[in-house]
Amino acid sequence: MSESVLAQIAGLKDKTTVQLRALWKELFDRDAPPFGRRHLEDRLSYRIQELRLGGLSDRARRKLDALADQLDPKVARRREPRSLLPGTQLRREWKGAEHVITVREHDFEYDGRPYKSLSAIARAITSVRWNGPFFFGLRQDRKSK
């Protein structure tokens, strides 16, 4: 790894949270999520490396998605809101496109594929890990409660 990447990552510890959020906006082209400093540092470290050295290969990403889809549905369902009835449709606009998710008996359908969790769908849409219920507006940020 080049020294400039290492220096950038090491320099994250010296930045204020406001500076980390500004860097997030620069590197991800969107506002930082409402998470703590540790999350921002971790994701920014990865993003700096990803931009300089490349991210996961398509093959690795497909493999990880396939593994995530194999998770026990009972475990995945435990975290999803229980109030969603089968047949309910969730809609989310992301980068100018509308995404429609259908709640099914034991999973969700998006883009013709079954998913075990809303978080897996949010990741498929954005290529970034999200809390699925938060991403689809089913939960509010803790700070606003």
Q: What is the DSSP string of 45-66?
A: HHHHHHHHH----HHHHHHHHH
pLDDT of 73:
60
- What torsion, rounded to 10 degrees, do the Cα atoms 138, 75, 120, 55 define? 130
pTM of the predicted model, to two decimals? 0.46
Nearest to 133 by CA among 121, 144, 118, 123: 118
Sign of CA dihedral 50, 53, 56, 57: positive
Type of residue found at 2: S
Rg (CA), the chain: 17
pLDDT of 57:
87
pLDDT of 122:
93
pLDDT of 45:
93
Per-residue pLDDT of the chain (145 residues; tens, 9 = 90+): 456 899 999 999 999 999 999 999 999 999 988 888 888 999 999 999 989 888 888 898 888 888 877 776 655 544 444 567 888 888 888 888 899 999 988 889 999 999 989 999 999 999 988 888 888 888 765 554 4
111-145: pLDDT as tens digits: 999 998 999 999 999 998 888 888 888 876 555 44
pLDDT of 83:
66
